[in-house]
């Protein structure tokens, strides 16, 4: 029934941030090199994500918004070597249940014409019509939670904070996505449209950071490039879901690399860094509170009291972590976390000691 569907949907789309996360990841999965996110009234009225990716095939129109439909996974084994963000087919079905939702999509072969797809709350395709469109996909989410009055009220009350959380997440996607042009704007009901930030199609993360936070930011940063070997013999027992996920036995030691850009380990000198910390696992933005704590502890030990800028991408084997711990896929479980954190702190101190201040 409908109510069951709504309750389950609540898991993947929990707030404004998860809407944007799912839509932007779909755009990246579609191979987009340009992604435009347009908020109306901070996202309360609408969130639109437009990309220039591959578009949706007509044979997928019927199933695209049905629960557990995904075009991205062919066999169960693929789960262990997942290259795309999406794989569970829950985002579009949830959005049908929780918002007024439609899609406009066009493939390269469609010329200047595209197709507008409208759906029932259940995710069933209601109808299609021909519209003008460029290659790519635009997903329009209007009146999020309009049919869940308590959640809608809560969203209205907290919208400023929610919008800022979304911007922080979009900053992270824009900084980590090389070769992808991002543009984020917000149209207030009576005001003018403001550009929150935009990036060029940069070849590296450094230029992305300059676009998002200002070129001056780079002066305050040093490159982060740590690698260490982790011995899997002292690894604590993997979780049940990790076992389910792993198809290969772990063999030998495991190389971990942590790359990115961080604040210089010096105090003062007018080097102001934006108060931003972004963490990634294999370029996927995620919440890693323990890793954040390890970084910040090392900075504190150098008497750096101002919050450092941290852009840290942890490169790991796909069988060294669990992405499906939380429904929104942002909280990631690292299998050898304790060992990893110790190695990280040591390597960071070594980097700081060796750095010409």
Q: Which is nearer to Mg ion, 332 or 344 (CB)?
A: 332
13 binds Mg ion (CB under 5 A): no
Q: Which is nearer to ligand ADP, 90 or 162 (CB)?
A: 90
Residue nearest to ligand ADP (CB): 86
291 binds Mg ion (CB under 5 A): no
Chain Cα centroid distance, residue 4? 27
Phi-psi domain of 148 (left: phi exceeds 0; alpha: psi -120 through 50; beta: other): beta
123 binds Mg ion (CB under 5 A): no
Q: Which is nearer to ligand ADP, 25 or 336 (CB)?
A: 25
Q: How far apart are CA 142 and CA 139, in angstroms?
A: 10
Please identify which residue in 53, 86, 114, 123 interacts with Mg ion, judged by CB under 5 A: 86
Chain Cα centroid distance, residue 116? 26
Q: How far apart are CA 97 and CA 193, in angstroms?
A: 29
Helix/strand/coil for 139? strand
Closest distance to ligand ADP from the beta carbon of 70 (Å): 3
Q: Which is nearer to ligand ADP, 82 or 222 (CB)?
A: 82
Residues in the chain: 357
Helix/strand/coil for 306? coil
Q: What are 341's two structure tokens?
A: 């954190």
Q: Which is nearer to ligand ADP, 117 or 316 (CB)?
A: 117
Q: 88 contacts which partner out of ligand ADP, Mg ion, none, CB within 5 to 8 A by kind?
A: ligand ADP
Closest distance to Mg ion from the beta carbon of 25 (Å): 6
Q: How far apart are CA 202 and CA 176, in angstroms?
A: 10
Burial class (CB in 10 A: 0-12, 13-18, 19+), 130: exposed
26 binds Mg ion (CB under 5 A): yes
Q: Site residues (CB under 6 A) for ligand ADP?
A: 22, 26-27, 30, 51, 53-56, 60, 64, 70-72, 86-92, 137
Residues that bind Mg ion (CB under 5 A): 26, 86, 91
């Amino acid at each position: 029934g409908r109510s069951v569907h709504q309750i389950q949907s609540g898991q993947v789309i929990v707030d404004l941030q998860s809407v944007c996360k799912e839509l932007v990841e779909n755009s990246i999965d579609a191979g987009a090199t340009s992604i435009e996110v347009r908020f109306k009234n901070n996202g309360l009225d609408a969130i639109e994500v437009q990309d220039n990716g591959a578009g949706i095939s007509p044979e997928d129109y019927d199933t695209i918004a049905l629960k557990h439909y995904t075009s991205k996974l062919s066999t169960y084994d693929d789960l262990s070597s997942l290259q795309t963000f999406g794989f569970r087919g829950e985002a579009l079905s949830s959005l049908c249940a929780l918002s007024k939702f439609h899609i406009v999509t066009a493939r390269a072969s469609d010329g200047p014409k595209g197709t507008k797809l409208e759906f029932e709350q259940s995710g069933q395709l209601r109808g299609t019509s021909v519209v003008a469109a460029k290659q790519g996909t635009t997903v329009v989410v209007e009146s999020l939670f309009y049919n869940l009055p308590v959640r809608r009220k809560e969203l209205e009350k907290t919208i400023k904070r929610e919008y800022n959380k979304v911007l922080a997440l979009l900053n992270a996607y824009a900084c980590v996505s090389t070769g992808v042009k991002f543009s984020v704007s917000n149209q207030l009901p009576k005001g003018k449209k403001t550009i929150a930030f935009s990036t060029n199609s940069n070849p590296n993360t450094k230029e992305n950071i300059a676009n998002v936070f200002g070129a001056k930011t780079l002066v305050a940063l040093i490159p982060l490039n740590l690698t260490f070997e982790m011995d899997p013999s002292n690894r604590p027992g993997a979780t049940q879901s990790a076992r389910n996920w792993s198809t290969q036995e772990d063999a030998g030691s495991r190389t971990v690399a942590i790359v990115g850009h961080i604040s210089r380990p010096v105090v003062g000198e007018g080097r102001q860094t934006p108060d931003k910390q972004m963490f990634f696992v294999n370029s996927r933005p995620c919440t890693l509170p323990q890793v954040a704590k390890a970084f910040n502890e090392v900075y504190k030990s150098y008497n750096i009291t101002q919050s450092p800028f941290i852009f840290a991408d942890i490169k790991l084997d796909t069988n060294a972590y669990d992405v499906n711990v939380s429904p929104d896929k942002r909280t990631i479980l690292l299998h050898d976390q304790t060992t990893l954190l110790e190695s990280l702190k040591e390597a960071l101190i070594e980097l700081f000691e060796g750095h010409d201040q």
